[in-house]
Structure 1
Amino acid sequence: MGIRYCTVSTQDELEQILALQQANLWANVSPEEKEKDGFVTVEHNFEILHQMNEVCPHIIAKDGDTVAAYALCMHPMFADKIDILKPMFAEIDTVVPKEEKYIAMGQICVGKSYRNQGIFRGLYNAMKAHVQPEFESIITEVDAKNTRSLQAHYAVGFKELKTYFSDERDWVLISLK
């Protein structure tokens, strides 16, 4: 059947995103896994994930009924909803012109058994197709220690906007046009 890309349309898909997030959360993966496969930093709850999806549906890669990977769409109206992301939005305001409409990619994650199959690139292609022309760019940040994620983002065309320090970490703010 293969992987298909679509937007989230059910509660079950949101719950599968949360399960995939837990399996790849910074606190839940070994140092070796962090270096080899990367990790996710932010832990969402169902309510905020659902609210974000209502404004701009999240992009998922599905294998049958299984959510294999996801890219969370986070409209700037949610800038003050997740504490660890507040500094990212403040930094965006310092480098992105006020008139530029952007969507934040709130988090991207590919399940372990689906890695190295082009799904990361597929998620961003689907996201770009879904949010343009309403949004000119997709902006996100990556923990500077997450070299796997940074390399993957640069490979699909992201460009660095700036690096900054927040929450005891160095962050790389990046943009895809």
Structure 2
Amino acid sequence: MIVYKQASTPRELEQILTLQQQNLPKSLSQNDMVKDGFLTVEHSLELLKEMNDMSQHIIAVENEKVVGYALSMHPKFAESIDILKPMFHEINKVVKKRTNYMVMGQICIAKTHRGQGLFRKLYSNMKTHLPDGFDTIITEVDTKNQRSMNAHRAVGFVELKNYSSDGKDWSLIIMQ
């Protein structure tokens, strides 16, 4: 049985990083990236913990093993990850001042658990656990990652804008 909860232990954070490593381009074939999607950002345990201390990540756990996660990234971390800095700058250009958003810093489902509704449930739990005063979730997707683009549309994300940065085309999206 899969349980959805907020990450709370060092072991859970370490398991997030293990799953992350399995889904970075360096660990995938080109065919796997096209078929199953891929992750862009590699986090350190220290940064992952700092982010979790500010707003807990949402995890899917089965038999004490993290099989999926959605990372919560408070806007205070806007300058913490180089590849994400442009995203925060673009958000500031298009988001109304009254919108208090949380960034979904990365979402990943173990290959063994894809197509079972975890993606939708992780986002549902993330929205339920937004800190007081926050009202929506924003993220971006590499436009080459069609699996992720389609999955985000299916759970209600709409595009705010497209932009290019670091030689990649990004779709900045917001949950409706």
State the partner residue of 1:95: 94
Cα-to-partner distance string for 1:128-157 (whole Å, 9 max, x where unaligned) = 111165311100000000000000000000
State the partner residue of 2:145: 146
Partner SS state of residue 5, structure 2: strand
Count of residue pairs brought into register by the alignment: 176
Cα-to-partner distance string for 1:148-171 (whole Å, 9 max, x where unaligned) = 000000000000000000000000
1:73 alignment partner AA: S
Partner SS state of residue 90, structure 1: helix
- Alignment of 1:5 onto 2:30: no
Partner SS state of residue 16, structure 1: helix
State the partner residue of 1:55: 54
Identify the range of structure 1 (20-29 vs 100-109) with the bigger mean alpha-carbon deviation: 20-29
Partner SS state of residue 106, structure 1: strand
2:49 alignment partner AA: H
Query: Structure 2 CA distance, aligned partners of 1:14 and 1:31?
Result: 27
Structure 1 unaligned residues grouped into runs of 5+: none
Query: Structure 2 CA distance, aligned partners of 1:120 and 1:134?
Result: 24
1:143 alignment partner AA: D
Taking only aligned residues, the RMSD between alpha carbons, in angstroms, comes to 0.9
State the partner residue of 1:31: 30
- Alignment of 1:106 onto 2:67: no
State the partner residue of 1:127: 126
State the partner residue of 2:66: 67
Q: Report how far residue 80 of structure 1 moved.
A: 0.1
Query: Structure 2 CA distance, aligned partners of 1:74 and 1:145?
Result: 23
Contact 2:55–2:131, Cα closer than 8 Å, also in 1: no
Query: Structure 1 CA distance, aligned partners of 2:103 and 2:21?
Result: 21
Give 4+ residue runs of structure 1 displaced > 6 Å after superposition: none
| TM-score normalised by L of structure 2 | 0.98
Partner SS state of residue 42, structure 2: coil
Query: Structure 1 CA distance, aligned partners of 2:167 and 2:65?
Result: 35
Partner SS state of residue 53, structure 1: helix
Partner SS state of residue 164, structure 2: strand
Query: Structure 2 CA distance, aligned partners of 1:160 and 1:89?
Result: 15
State the partner residue of 1:159: 158
Identity %: 56
| TM-score normalised by L of structure 1 | 0.97
Query: Structure 1 CA distance, aligned partners of 2:30 and 2:116?
Result: 23
Cα-to-partner distance string for 1:14-34 (whole Å, 9 max, x where unaligned) = 000000000001222111101
Cα-to-partner distance string for 1:75-118 (whole Å, 9 max, x where unaligned) = 00000000000000000000001221000000000001010000
